[in-house]
């Protein structure tokens, strides 16, 4: 689609075939929004996410307009079972990225209730310190019945976020259901966080998790068995299908920040070639 | 309907027939009587008799007061020998405000001292580090040992035991020690309690007291216990708290189960450090909520005493009788009080207090009737203290030890509560103990589910709350509730400028050195960090500075919150 | 229109938060659950938020209603929150308070623009219906999509 088409919304009209004035008004408003978005203004980013997340009338126009501006942000997926300290680790990663002067956007996904359609979006509980930081933008999204585990318009939302110009986009999901596998479609770097555990806990970790991970983090490094778990996982990764590419095991203690700079070093490495989920 | 005791051999001739006649008459009148349950979910029958409790088990299950299993009380004489202490939570405004209020309450018959700091303090800050509007509204501003000195000016605290609302890293206790030292009072004579030292209850239930990352909390608490046991031998450095779980929504049985699980965890931690149970258990105390579910609370405390006695003996091999006592302070439940028709709360608090007294508490805080609105005024606090005095002196509740003992209902209920409490402890054990369990979110979910359950019962009027969902009046009668007192802005200003002056006049070099030594102690595992906190306080470091130093060393703690 | 289900495409989005230092969250957890069960999306932050933090969260999450849970005098800071929301161009978002607010201090809040105060004893329906109506009102008054100047 040409830039001119994007401006006029050609090819993306509503079924009613709006008259020229309405098209102009919608496009004008939407393009004002897009300008703000491309400048990285938080308000525009928030409104653009709302539009795309909920399939509003402006969504298609916004997406069309931002296509030439994509590809700068590194997209990192963070997932893992409950109890691994994933949220605390995400918080620590954000802190370290900020220390390195990076602009960060976070997409936190939580499941909607299949019965009521509502959702508790609780990932911000662990991000207390970042609410006042201009360099961090966090958006919580509910799955809204999407069977894949993420949500319907995740591709579009990630594009909108990318267009606002951050260095890193972190997608944080609960490690249950299908979400950790679906994240492979969108994230270049997949981080799986687990807690130390010998024997059963590690053995029964879903095969899918091991296959998708680019980085396996053993958090709560202060606990006994942490080093053993790291060794065990390294061993298991060796048995992984070589076509999945190589993966790294890192040990952290998110509460004190130990190991987090090293983890972020790995995150910032030049993009992994032929990584899992391709 | 009625549960049969294991052996009915002791029942008199004709008993079964008489009971059958009674049951038939009940069925005739009540028809399909809807089953009733208490807050812990246990069924409540219409009548209890000798087939509900085997009285031949008196020595195994009850014993005499002060003898295993302590069910009837932890001391031989209990309130008959020494009545429970009225110990009221006091915290407001500036140190001078606190001091003035304490003098007023002493004149009204209060005996125990209780220091409760401002919420900003609980978060780890000094008054000059936070928004003005939030200062001193819910507790007293205390950032330095000079502030503590002003709080205690003219009060004979060395003659009383002091309860300090102090959470890790226990700076207020350190300030208290300095004030005592400056007055020439030997630490060996000081009696008191660090009453918010139980970080597991903060992590899982009342988050506002929680400050350090979990491993750091553990370290700091164990160092505090060891240091205090050595230097201030009459002090209770560990107070295991049931109040927070129950206020957050746990049922009485759950709250007791979670509390005892936490106590087991702390005892395990101390044993892992090489401490003998009989060396530290005598100085472990407890802090419970008491709700208006009268008989259930009495049974909860009696069951709790029995269980703790058995745990300390069987799990920890404690031989000293003092190690096996569930010694506890109690606070009446604020969650039962209402904003509507506030004077009703005086009746509620009376019932709660009675339940605690019959439950065998050692000290008692009675809420003021305006608790649901603001921190108490002198008048409302006076009524709360008077309530206790009336129960003691006019109702003579201190005459008889465990007067409900032997009641078929109370003994049967004590047994049932014991089963419930033990099942909670078992569940926590399965997860590897309380320290591990709170990190899985299981405890938080248990509490959340119970709180929702209770809310639903109120909404559908299965649980009536007078003045709220039934027996309501046009207005809320809130004219009976006094206007809340807010700290005088000028006094806050004066406080803040005094704090600034304190900072500029102290020996900064000495403070920096002390804080550096404290930070350094965390780099090895063997140094006792609490001694260095006491040193830093002595050197003039403020509360906020010490908290920051410790946080830098061990991590700023965030509790696991589960919706 | 059934205000409880504004449209599956976009359920009402509510921020439930606590500002200041109080940590009692039994009430806010229950309210969040009520709202979720009524089909709303609830951004739950936990305690200890700052005023500027709440403004940023409300902006980033594009919420319809802000619900502040308050005990122990923390409500005294709310007029400052209303000022901050106004300064950020977010004053179309409706703000409600739940918890302990003495009668003598409700005027302070309502004159600052707080839409509704929920005292202890408020029922589930009162809270859910009230929040749903306010969310609908926010959507009606929200500025059309446009960039900031």
State the average pLDDT for chain B: 93
Domains of chain A, residue spans:
3-69, 74-267
Block residue for tokens 């472990």? B284
Q: Which of residues 96-135 of C touch A (CB under 8 A)?
A: none
The band of A2, judged by pLDDT with boundaries at 50, 70 and 90, is very low
Nearest to B561 among A125, A255, A257 (CB): A125
What pLDDT, on a 0 to 100 scale, did the predictor assign at position B36? 93
What pLDDT, on a 0 to 100 scale, did the predictor assign at position A233? 85
At C20-37, the pLDDT tens digits run 888 899 999 999 999 999
Question: For the ranges B26-35, B273-282, B366-375, B527-536, which has the lowest average pLDDT?
Answer: B26-35
Task: Round to whole Å and give the CA distance between B46 and C27.
Answer: 34
- Whole-model pTM? 0.91
How many domains is chain B partitioned into structurally? 1
What pLDDT, on a 0 to 100 scale, did the predictor assign at position A5? 33
Interval A12-23 mean pLDDT: 40
Question: For the ranges A133-142, A173-182, B248-257, C7-16, which has the lowest average pLDDT?
Answer: A173-182
Second CATH level (architecture) for the domain C13-141: 3-Layer(aba) Sandwich (3.40)
The band of C3, judged by pLDDT with boundaries at 50, 70 and 90, is very low
Nearest to A255 among B213, B441, B561 (CB): B213
Q: Which residues in chain C have Cβ-Cβ distances shorter than 8 Å to B91?
A: none
Spell out the residues 6+ positions from residue A53 whose beta carbon is closer than 8 angstroms to its own: A141, A151, A153, A156, A157, C10
Contact A108, A204 (CB under 8 A): no
Nearest to B248 among C21, C26, C46 (CB): C26
The band of A11, judged by pLDDT with boundaries at 50, 70 and 90, is very low
Question: For the ranges A170-184, B444-458, B477-491, which has the lowest average pLDDT?
Answer: A170-184
Domains of chain C, residue spans:
13-141
Per residue, the 3-state secondary structure of A41-107, as one string, reads CHHHHHHHHHHHHCCCCCHHHHHHHHHHHCCCCEEEEEECCCCCCHHHHHHHHHHHHHHCCCCEEEE
Range of B65's domain?
A: 58-478
The band of A274, judged by pLDDT with boundaries at 50, 70 and 90, is very low
Q: Is the pLDDT of residue B100 over 70?
A: yes
Q: Where are the beta strands (DSSP E) in B360-445?
A: 363-365
What pLDDT, on a 0 to 100 scale, did the predictor assign at position B281? 97
Question: Which of B61, B66, B62, B59 shows the shortest CA–CA distance to B362?
Answer: B66
Q: Is the pLDDT of residue B92 over 90?
A: no
Nearest CA in chain A to C33: A120
Interval B450-479 mean pLDDT: 92
Looking at the domain A74-267, which fold is it? Rossmann fold (3.40.50)
| C73 to B374: CB separation less than 8 angstroms, yes or no | yes
What pLDDT, on a 0 to 100 scale, did the predictor assign at position B91? 80
Q: What are phi and psi of A192, to 5 degrees?
A: -115, 125
Per the document, the length of chain B is: 563
The one-character DSSP state at B59 is I
The band of A208, judged by pLDDT with boundaries at 50, 70 and 90, is low
Nearest to C30 among B137, B452, B483 (CB): B452
Task: Please report the DSSP string for chain A in residue order.
Answer: --HHHHHHTTT---TT---HHHHHHHHHHHHHHHHHHHTT-HHHHHHHHHHHHTT-TTHHHHHHHHGGG-S-SEEEEEE--TTS-HHHHHHHHHHHHHHTT--EEEEEEEPPPTTTS-EEE-GGGGGGGGGG-TTEEEEEEE-TT-TTSS-TTHHHHHHHHHHT--SEEEEEE-SSTTHHHHGGGT-SEEEEEE----THHHHTS-HHHHHH-SEEEE--TTSTTHHHHHHHHHHHHHTS-GGG---EEEE-BTTTTBTHHHHHHHHTSSPPTT-TT-
Block residue for tokens 């929301």? C85
Nearest CA in chain A to B435: A223
Nearest CA in chain B to C19: B134
CA distance A83 to chain B (A): 5
The band of A27, judged by pLDDT with boundaries at 50, 70 and 90, is low
Q: Is the pLDDT of residue B357 over 50?
A: yes
Q: Which residues in chain A have Cβ-Cβ distances shorter than 8 Å to B554?
A: 256
Q: Which chains touch C (3 or more CB pairs under 8 A)?
A: A, B
Q: Is the pLDDT of residue B122 over 60?
A: yes
At C53-78, the pLDDT tens digits run 999 999 999 999 999 999 878 898 99
Best mutation site among C73, C77, C78, C126 for testing chain B: the one with the most B CBs within 10 Å?
C73
Q: Is the pLDDT of residue A15 over 70?
A: no
Given CB atoms, is A5 within the 8 Å cutoff of chain B?
A: no
What pLDDT, on a 0 to 100 scale, did the predictor assign at position A191? 92
Interval B123-139 mean pLDDT: 86
Question: For the ranges B356-370, B391-405, B482-496, which has the lowest average pLDDT?
Answer: B482-496
Interval A96-114 mean pLDDT: 94
Best mutation site among A120, A136, A144, A163 for testing chain C: the one with the most C CBs within 10 Å?
A120
At A144-164, the pLDDT tens digits run 877 666 788 899 999 999 999
State the average pLDDT for chain A: 81
A vs C, Cβ pairs < 8 A, gives 118
Q: Which chains touch A (3 or more CB pairs under 8 A)?
A: B, C
B444 HSE (CA, 13 A, CB side): 23
The one-character DSSP state at B484 is P
The band of A7, judged by pLDDT with boundaries at 50, 70 and 90, is very low
What pLDDT, on a 0 to 100 scale, did the predictor assign at position A239? 79
Interval A197-212 mean pLDDT: 62
What pLDDT, on a 0 to 100 scale, did the predictor assign at position C73? 81
Q: Is the pLDDT of residue B458 over 50?
A: yes
Count the neighbouring beta carbons within 10 Å of the beta carbon of residue A21.
Answer: 8
Contact B149, B115 (CB under 8 A): no
Tokens standing for A143? 């799955």
What pLDDT, on a 0 to 100 scale, did the predictor assign at position B484? 78
What pLDDT, on a 0 to 100 scale, did the predictor assign at position A196? 86
| C123 to B459: CB separation less than 8 angstroms, yes or no | yes
Q: What are phi and psi of B365, to 5 degrees?
A: -105, 125
Q: Which residues in chain B have Cβ-Cβ distances shorter than 8 Å to C124?
A: 455, 459
| C32 to B448: CB separation less than 8 angstroms, yes or no | no
Strands B85-86, B363-365: pairing kind: parallel
Q: Which of residues 196-255 of A touch B (CB under 8 A)?
A: 222, 255
Q: Where are the beta strands (DSSP E) in B136-242?
A: 162-164, 192-194, 235-236, 238-241
Sheet with A136-142: strands ordered across = A136-142, A104-110, A168-173, A74-79, A189-194, A215-218, A248-251
What pLDDT, on a 0 to 100 scale, did the predictor assign at position A99? 97
What pLDDT, on a 0 to 100 scale, did the predictor assign at position A206? 57
What pLDDT, on a 0 to 100 scale, did the predictor assign at position C89? 94
Classify residue A43 by burial, with Cβ atoms within 10 Å: 0-12, 13-18, 19+: buried
Chain centroid to CA B541: 29
Q: Is the pLDDT of residue A3 over 70?
A: no
Q: Is the pLDDT of residue C148 over 90?
A: no
What pLDDT, on a 0 to 100 scale, did the predictor assign at position B139? 85
Given CB atoms, is B374 within the 8 Å cutoff of chain C?
A: yes
Interval B508-537 mean pLDDT: 96
CA distance B548 to chain A (A): 14
Interface pTM, i.e. ipTM:
0.91
Q: Which of residues 43-102 of B touch C (CB under 8 A)?
A: none
What pLDDT, on a 0 to 100 scale, did the predictor assign at position B219? 96
Q: Is the pLDDT of residue B3 over 50?
A: no
Q: What are phi and psi of B293, to 5 degrees?
A: -80, 85
pLDDT top residue among B25 and B328: B328
Best mutation site among B216, B550, B555, B556 for testing chain A: the one with the most A CBs within 10 Å?
B555
The band of B6, judged by pLDDT with boundaries at 50, 70 and 90, is very low
């Amino acid at each position: 689609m040409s830039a001119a088409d994007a401006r006029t919304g050609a090819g993306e009209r509503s079924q009613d075939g709006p008259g020229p004035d309405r098209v102009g008004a919608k496009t004008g408003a939407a393009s004002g929004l897009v300008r703000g978005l491309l400048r990285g203004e938080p308000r525009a980013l928030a409104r653009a996410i709302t539009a795309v997340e909920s399939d509003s009338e402006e969504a298609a126009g916004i997406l069309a307009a931002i296509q030439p501006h994509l590809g700068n942000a590194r997209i990192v997926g963070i997932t893992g079972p409950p109890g691994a300290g994933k949220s605390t680790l995400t918080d620590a990663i954000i802190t370290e990225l900020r220390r390195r002067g990076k602009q960060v956007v976070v997409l936190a996904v939580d499941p909607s209730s299949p019965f009521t359609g509502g959702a508790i979006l609780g990932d911000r509980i662990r991000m207390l310190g970042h609410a006042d930081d201009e360099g961090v933008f966090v958006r919580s999204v509910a799955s809204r019945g999407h069977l894949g585990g993420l949500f319907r318009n995740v591709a579009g939302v990630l594009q909108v976020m990318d267009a606002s110009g951050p260095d890193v986009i972190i997608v944080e999901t609960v490690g249950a259901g299908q979400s950790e596998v679906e994240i492979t479609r969108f994230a270049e770097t997949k981080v799986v966080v687990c807690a130390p555990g010998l024997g059963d806990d590690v053995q029964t970790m879903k095969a899918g998790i091991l296959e998708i991970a680019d980085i396996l983090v053993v958090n709560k490094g202060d606990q006994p068995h942490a080093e053993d778990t790291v060794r065990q996982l390294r061993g298991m990764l060796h048995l992984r299908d070589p076509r999945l590419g190589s993966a790294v095991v890192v040990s952290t203690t998110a509460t004190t920040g130990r190991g987090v700079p090293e983890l972020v070093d790995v995150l910032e490495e030049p993009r992994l070639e032929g990584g899992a989920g391709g | 309907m009625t549960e049969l005791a294991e052996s009915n051999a002791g029942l008199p001739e004709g008993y079964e027939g008489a009971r059958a006649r009674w049951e038939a008459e009940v069925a005739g009148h009540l028809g399909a009587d809807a089953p009733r349950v208490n807050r812990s979910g246990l069924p409540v029958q219409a009548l209890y008799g000798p087939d509900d409790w085997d009285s031949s088990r008196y020595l195994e299950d009850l014993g005499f007061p002060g003898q295993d299993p302590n069910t009837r009380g932890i001391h031989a004489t209990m309130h008959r020998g020494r009545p429970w202490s009225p110990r009221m939570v006091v915290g407001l405004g500036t140190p001078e405000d606190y001091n003035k209020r304490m003098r007023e309450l002493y004149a009204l018959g209060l005996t125990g001292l209780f220091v409760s700091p401002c919420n900003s303090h609980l978060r780890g800050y000094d008054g000059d580090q936070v928004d003005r509007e939030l200062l001193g509204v819910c507790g007293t501003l205390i950032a330095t040992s000079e502030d503590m000195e002003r709080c205690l000016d003219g009060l004979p605290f060395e003659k009383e035991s002091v309860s300090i609302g102090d959470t890790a890293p226990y700076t207020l206790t350190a300030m208290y020690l300095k004030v005592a030292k400056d007055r020439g009072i030997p630490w060996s004579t000081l009696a008191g309690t660090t009453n918010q030292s139980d970080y597991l209850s903060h992590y899982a239930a009342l988050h506002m007291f929680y400050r350090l990352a979990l491993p750091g909390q553990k370290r700091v608490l164990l160092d505090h216990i060891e240091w205090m046991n050595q230097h201030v031998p009459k002090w209770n450095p560990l107070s295991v708290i049931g109040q927070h779980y129950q206020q957050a929504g746990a049922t009485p049985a759950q709250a007791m189960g979670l509390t005892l699980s936490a106590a087991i965890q702390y005892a395990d931690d101390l044993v892992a450090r090489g401490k003998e149970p009989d060396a530290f258990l005598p100085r472990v105390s407890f802090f419970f909520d008491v709700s208006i579910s009268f008989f259930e609370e009495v049974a909860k405390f009696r069951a709790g005493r029995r269980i703790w006695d058995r745990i300390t003996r069987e799990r920890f091999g404690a031989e000293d009788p003092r190690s096996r006592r569930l010694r506890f302070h109690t606070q009446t439940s604020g969650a039962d009080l209402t904003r509507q028709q506030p004077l009703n709360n005086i009746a509620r608090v009376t019932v709660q207090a009675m339940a605690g007294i019959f439950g065998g508490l050692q000290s008692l805080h009675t809420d003021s009737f305006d608790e649901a609105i603001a921190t108490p005024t002198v008048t409302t606090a006076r009524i709360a203290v008077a309530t206790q005095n009336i129960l003691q002196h006019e109702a003579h509740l201190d005459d008889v030890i465990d007067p409900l003992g032997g009641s078929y209902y109370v003994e049967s209920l004590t047994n049932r509560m014991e089963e419930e409490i033990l099942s909670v402890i078992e569940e926590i054990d399965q997860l590897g103990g309380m320290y591990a369990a709170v990190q899985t979110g299981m405890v938080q979910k248990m509490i959340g589910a119970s709180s929702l359950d209770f809310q639903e019962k109120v909404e559908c009027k299965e649980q009536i709350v007078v003045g709220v969902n039934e027996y309501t009046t046009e207005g809320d009668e809130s004219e009976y509730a006094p206007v809340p007192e807010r700290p005088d802005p000028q006094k806050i200003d004066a406080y803040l400028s005094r704090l600034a002056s304190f900072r500029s006049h102290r020996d900064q070099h000495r403070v920096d050195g002390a804080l550096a030594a404290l930070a350094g102690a965390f780099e090895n595992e063997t140094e006792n960090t609490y001694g260095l906190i006491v040193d830093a306080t002595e050197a003039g470091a403020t509360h906020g500075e010490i908290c920051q130093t410790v946080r830098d060393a061990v991590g700023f703690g965030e509790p696991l919150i589960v919706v | 229109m059934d205000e409880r289900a504004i449209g599956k495409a976009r359920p009402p989005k509510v921020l439930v938060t606590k500002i200041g230092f109080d940590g009692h969250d039994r009430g806010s957890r229950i309210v969040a659950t009520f709202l979720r069960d009524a089909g709303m999306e609830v951004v739950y932050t936990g305690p200890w938020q700052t005023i500027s933090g709440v403004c940023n969260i409300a902006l980033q999450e594009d919420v319809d209603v802000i619900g502040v849970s308050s005990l122990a005098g923390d409500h005294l800071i709310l007029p400052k929150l209303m000022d901050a929301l106004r300064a950020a161009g977010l004053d179309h978002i409706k703000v409600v308070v739940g918890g302990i607010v003495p009668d003598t201090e409700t005027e302070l809040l309502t004159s600052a623009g707080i839409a509704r105060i929920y005292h202890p004893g408020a029922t589930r329906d009162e809270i859910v219906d009230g929040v749903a109506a306010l969310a609908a009102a926010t959507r009606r008054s929200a500025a059309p999509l446009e960039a900031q100047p």
